Amino acid sequence: MAESTTQQTASRAEALAAIVAACGDELPLPPSGEESVFAEPWQAQVFATTVALHERGLFTWPQWAQALGNRVAQTNDATGADYYLRWSEALVDVLAETGTLEREQLADLEKAWHDAAARTPHGQPISL
C-alpha cells in the first residue's frame, strides 16, 4: 500500500532534517512552512532520488553534505533560487566520487534525457 501524503511529507521532512544536520545546519534551505519546498516536479524527483540512493548505501550523509556544501559555496545566488540545481550537481559529484557512475556515463545519460525531452510533446512524461 502506498504511503499517505502525510507520511510522505513527514518522510521528506525527516530526510531533509538529516541532511541539514549532516551539513552542520549552515546551508541555505528551501522554503518551509506554508510554502512549497519544491517549485517544480524535477526538484522533488532529484530529492527523492538522493534519499533513495543514500538508503541503498551508495553514499553517506557526510559525503552528501560535503558535496552539497561545495556546490552551494560555488553559487553567487543569495536567494537560493538555484538550490535544487546545486543539489542535482552535488548528486552527480557524489555518485562520481563514490565510483557509482563515471562522469562520462552521467553525461551520456544527461544527453539521452535532453534528447528524449526534445522529442516529447509538452506536458507528456519523458521516456528514455
Whether 67 contacts 94, CB under 8 Å:
yes
Whether 46 contacts 88, CB under 8 Å:
yes
Domain encompassing residue 65: 5-119
Looking at residue 64, its pLDDT comes to 92
- Quick one: which of 78, 72, 112, 117 has its CA closest to 93? 72
Does residue 127 lie within any of the structural domains? no
Does residue 29 lie within any of the structural domains? yes
Give the total number of structural domains in the chain: 1
Does residue 125 lie within any of the structural domains? no
CATH of residue 99: 1.10.472
Does residue 43 lie within any of the structural domains? yes
57 exposure class (CB count in 10 Å sphere: 0-12, 13-18, 19+): exposed
Structure-model confidence comparison of residues 45 and 2, the more confident one: 45
Per-residue confidence band for 1, with pLDDT thresholds at 50, 70 and 90: very low
Does residue 20 lie within any of the structural domains? yes
Does residue 31 lie within any of the structural domains? yes
pTM: 0.65
Does residue 128 lie within any of the structural domains? no
Whether 80 contacts 28, CB under 8 Å:
yes
Note the pLDDT tens digit of each residue in 56-103.
899 999 999 999 999 988 888 767 778 899 999 999 999 999 998 888
